[in-house]
Structures are given as C-alpha cells and as structure tokens.
Structure 1
C-alpha cells in the first residue's frame, strides 16, 4: 500500500499470490515476516522424503533456500489461484499447478491449499496441504 497504512490480510494474500503465480520469487518473499513459520508437509521417511524441499522451516532465508531446491528440481509451467477466502487474519487459497520434474521430464498436475496467517501486513504462518502422490510419481519417473 502507498498510503502508509498496514496492508489488510486480503491485500497481503492477494499480493503474495500475484507474486507467486507470476514467478516473482523476490517480490513474494517481501510478503513473509522475517520469522515466518513455513510448514510444507511433514517428511515421512520412505514416502515423501524424495521431495527435499518439504518440512517445517523458520524464517524467510530458509524459505528462500527451500524454493531454490524446489525450482532446481521442478520447472513450474503454470500456477493459478482457483479460489481465495479471507477472514480476519486468515487467508486460504486453492491453487492449481502444472510442473515438470527436470530430471525425469515428467509432468504433474496438482491442486493444493495454502493457509496463511497474516499479522501487521506480513505472513507469519504458512502451511500447504495436498496429496503428493502425483509429485512423487513424477519424481520417480512414472506417469503422473
């Protein structure tokens, strides 16, 4: 916002998703609090641990490193917000993504939910929910 007021939850969420789906990672990071808690699945040995970018992270620096790992392995073809719901300091969005695993050349398509908690115009808690089966299959080289 340009008037000096703290952005609303909707403004923060809308800015975050516009930057994220637009591929502007540097701008997306500006919407995160320095001490953001980022929960991108829980690693389960022998199942989803082939996705080295997942886990619980603390702080913008760890989140940026996680994105670098993800983007080093996956080429995002498209990502769009399907639905956005905002109430008080919470925002939830359903996103649709099509990506290709670089190593295998396999495409996967997923829908996932991002749940944000916003305070003082910054995302302080971020959590993602999806079924990772298609990602895992594409990582392994199988049809996704």
Structure 2
C-alpha cells in the first residue's frame, strides 16, 4: 500500500524535526530533485550546502556539508498545508554555526511533491540573511 501525501509529509517532517536522518531519507524517491535555494555568487554562496542535487545520496552529501558547519538546535513544524500531491511545511529552526559560535533563527518553507508515497521534488524557501550573518560571525 502506498502512503498518501499527508502520511508522507507528516512522516518526513516528523523525521526531520526529530533528527532521524535515516527515516527522513527513506521518504525520498530515487529520482528526487532537491532544490535548496539558488546560489548567488558573492551573496549566499558562503552556504556551500545550497543548490540543486538529484538522488538521495546527493541529498545526504548536501546535508552532511550543512551538518559539518551547523549544529542544529531545534526544528519545529509550525504549519502544514496539503493539497493533492503537494505539501508545504513551515519550519522554525534555531541553530549555531560551529566555526563562529553564532546562533541564527529562521523560518523556512519546504515545498514537497509526492508521487507513489515518496518525495520526488523538494524545494526550500527562506531569507538566508540570518544564516549568513552567523557564518560571518556577526552577533544578532
């Protein structure tokens, strides 16, 4: 039996916010397109985990880069909207850039497209200025 969009999205966000990477990765389709912002040279390219990748192993590599730079404090799902094969979740995150010790707090949107119980397209939206400030070592 294939999971519904709601079951897939709630499972994904539950795994994500609890830090269960293996379970989170199990929700990704083999052909996932993962779009984590668009790099803009001279602006957000100091976030080396951003960009587009394809397939769960490339997603995992991207997440490893992120976790190598950032210690995630808390992530909380604050809103979830589901319609058809699409889901959008608003996540509140509070984390620390390891190198500078600076914290950042953001809200970001994850947009999911689900097919056959797996996430086939994932895209993230946020204002990265708080992350960039923390990477640069500037206090809030």
Partner secondary structure for residue 2 of structure 2:
coil
> Does 1:131 find its partner at 2:127?
yes
Determine which of 103, 106, 109 is the counterpart of 1:110: 106
Tell me the secondary structure at the aligned position of residue 87 of structure 2.
strand
- Give 1:127 shift: 0.2
| Distance in 2 between residues matched to 1:12 and 1:85, nearest whole Å | 13
Give secondary structure in 2 for the equivalent of 1:21: helix
Flag structure 2 segments of 5+ consecutive residues without an equivalent.
Answer: none
The 3-state SS of whatever aligns with 1:17 is helix
* CA distance, structure 2, for counterparts of residue 133 and residue 112 of structure 1: 12
Please list, as runs of the form range in 1=range in 2, the aligned pairs for 1:82-97 lying within 5 A after superposition: 82-97=78-93
RMSD: 0.5
Runs of 4+ with deviation above 3 angstroms: none
SS at match of 1:65: helix
Aligned mate of 1:19, from 4, 15, 19 = 15
Aligned residues: 140
Show the counterpart of 2:65: 69
Offset of 1:143 from its aligned partner? Answer: 1.5
- The residue number in structure 2 matching 1:81 is 77
Deviations 1:97-117 (A, max 9, x none): 000000000000000000000
